[in-house]
Structure 1
Amino acid sequence: MKLVSVSEAFAVSPQIQAEDMREVTNAGYRTVICNRPDGEEPGQPAVALIQEAAEAAGLGFHHIPVSGGAFPPDVVEAFAKVREQADGKVLAYCRTGTRSITLDALANIENETVDERIRRAERAGYDLSGLRDRLGE
């Protein structure tokens, strides 16, 4: 499992597995957000399996799927609400981590400028510069 710290309270990851939940908990995370739709690709573990493992490990779990590069306002709002209400560190995952960090940048929980969000994503290994106009909304 590859956890990429974005801020003190937030990290992203490519697809995680049920057996990763102990490591997630040991790393101090308290909430997991899945940003993948079920059945996106062959071999992907079912969201229900990940949710069961997360809850068994004492983690909160939220499924906020994103597909096709679309980030509708209701999805961004749902993501922001989970981040704002989380009791502790949050880990969000998708296939590569890009959708999760994009949702975080759009939600802008830390009230950062567009440049700050792009730089923060860049430090985590993700290029969001192509979303500059969208992040300025």
Structure 2
Amino acid sequence: MQIHKLTDKLSVSPQVALEDIAKLSALGFKSVICNRPEKESDDQPAMLDVEQAVKAAGLTWQHQPVVSGKIKDQDVEDFTEIMAKLPQPVFAFCRTGTRCSTLWALSQANDMSVDDILGVAAEAGYNLSDQQTRIEALSHQ
């Protein structure tokens, strides 16, 4: 399991294995967000199995399916609302962690500078420079 910390409130990861979910509680996480649609690929576990494992570990579950490479403004708004209501810290995952990182980056457009957002993502191992223009645009809304 590869965990990449973005903030004290959020860490992201590539697809998590069912057997690793029980470890998340011991690592201090309180909630799990999955940003993958069901059956996005043949190698991912069934969403119901993931949900059951998360709940069995005593964590709060949230499924927010977002299509890779097609993050809409509504997805960002939904992510922001989800993060505001979930017990923290939150562990979010998708296929590689990039989608989760991008949702976070776009959600921070009004709270952090573009350079800081891109820097935090880069420190966590995600190059989101292709989102710079979009982050800038969101920061002016």
TM range (shorter): over 0.9
Name the residue aligned to 1:11. Answer: 11
Matched residue type, 1:47: M
- CA distance in 1 between counterparts of 2:109 and 2:9 reads 10
- CA distance in 2 between counterparts of 1:97 and 1:26 reads 21
Question: For structure 1, which runs of at least 5 residues remain unmatched after alignment?
Answer: none
- CA distance in 1 between counterparts of 2:25 and 2:108 reads 25
SS at structure 1 position matched to 2:54: helix
Equivalent pairs counted in the alignment come to 137
Matches within 5 A, 1:49-88: 49-88=49-88
SS at structure 2 position matched to 1:119: helix
Residues 93 and 68 (structure 1 numbering): CA distance in 2 closer, same or farther, change over 3 Å?
A: closer
Matched residue type, 2:121: A
Deviations 1:56-105 (A, max 9, x none): 11111111111141111221111111111222200110010000000001
Residues 110 and 28 (structure 1 numbering): CA distance in 2 closer, same or farther, change over 3 Å?
A: farther
- Tell me the TM-score normalised to structure 1 length: 0.94
Identity between Structure 1 and Structure 2 (%): 37
- CA distance in 2 between counterparts of 1:85 and 1:68 reads 24
- CA distance in 1 between counterparts of 2:105 and 2:2 reads 20
SS at structure 1 position matched to 2:105: helix
Residues 112-121 or 62-71, more deviating: 62-71
Name the residue aligned to 1:20. Answer: 20
Name the residue aligned to 1:102. Answer: 102
Moved >2 Å (runs of 4+): none
Q: Would you say the 8 A contact 1:84–1:109 is kept in 2? A: no
- Tell me the TM-score normalised to structure 2 length: 0.92
Question: For structure 2, which runs of at least 5 residues remain unmatched after alignment?
Answer: none
Aligned-residue offset at 1:124: 0.3
Residues 68 and 11 (structure 1 numbering): CA distance in 2 closer, same or farther, change over 3 Å?
A: closer
Aligned-residue offset at 1:9: 1.3
Q: Would you say the 8 A contact 1:2–1:13 is kept in 2? A: yes
